[in-house]
Amino acid sequence: MKPDEPIVLTTDRLVLRPTCEADLEDFIRVGSHLAVARNTGTFPHPFTREFAVERLAKQMKSLEEGTGVCFAIRLKATGEGIGSTGFFGLNREHGTAEVGYVIDPAHAGRGYATESLGAVVRHAFEDWGVRKLCACYFMDNPASGRVLEKAGFVREGVRRKQFVRLGELRDDVMVGLLREEYQK
């Protein structure tokens, strides 16, 4: 169930709030890195303003329709936008949704993805009543796998040569987290 009140999540170092038009320039800056495009399933390279505008509109519509929420990740200390995270594709019948996250490479390796994903997982299970969260990451991106593992996700399978991404055949690792596993 979608919460009725405005959503702002905070952690020790981060503030997460639903994405909006004001996030466009940060989104373009983060999405323009080749490393980001290479490790997402959908970001084009080169990243375009048109794609960013369409994606932000889709994210805002998802929240409005109650099928998910994408959060802008901002540093609590400075307000700087460093990425985004959230869940999407909420299937109400099955109680499932998929999580994702993107961190500016200039801020990678500092635990921000782990910290923000933890807040999103808690929000999805506790406030939206999601039964299961899932995610996929490219096998040759073990850092993303570690983020998901730290959040409690369990490996469910590998889809070999599942995607052609920026001209490369890529294996896709599927992971999931059940509400009862989260509650332990």
Q: What is the pLDDT of residues 22-69, one digit of tens each?
A: 999 999 999 999 999 999 989 999 999 999 999 999 999 999 999 999
Kindly indicate the confidence band of residue 4, based on its pLDDT and cuts at 50, 70 and 90: low
pLDDT higher than 90, residue 16: yes
Within a domain: 41: yes
Rounded CA-CA distance 46/136 in Å is 23
Alpha-carbon span 104 to 136, nearest angstrom: 19
88 part of a folded domain: yes
At 125, which helix (H) or strand (E)? Answer: helix 112-127
pLDDT for 148: 99
Whether 15 has a pLDDT exceeding 90, the answer reads yes
Paired tokens of 165:
């991404």
pLDDT recorded at residue 169: 96
Q: What CATH number should be reported for the domain holding residue 81?
A: 3.40.630.30
Domain tally for the chain? Answer: 1
Query: Could you report the per-residue pLDDT of 128-153, keeping only the tens digit for each?
Result: 999 999 999 999 999 999 999 999 99
Q: Is residue 174 part of a domain?
A: no
Contact call for residues 39 and 141 (beta carbons, < 8 A): yes
pLDDT of residue 2: 61
Residues with Cβ within 8 Å of residue 100, at least 6 apart in sequence: 40, 85, 86, 87, 88, 135
Which ranges constitute the DSSP H helices of 13-96?
A: 24-31, 34-39, 49-65
Domain that holds residue 109: 9-130
93 pLDDT exceeds 60? yes
- Check residue 3 and give its pLDDT: 64
Average pLDDT, the chain: 96
Residue 79 lies in a domain: yes
In a domain, 166, yes or no: no
In this prediction, residue 184 has a pLDDT band, given cuts at 50, 70 and 90, of confident
Phi, psi of 157 (to 5 degrees): 165, 170
Q: Which whole number is the average pLDDT over 90-112? A: 98
What DSSP state is assigned to residue 109?
T
- Residue 123 covered by a domain: yes
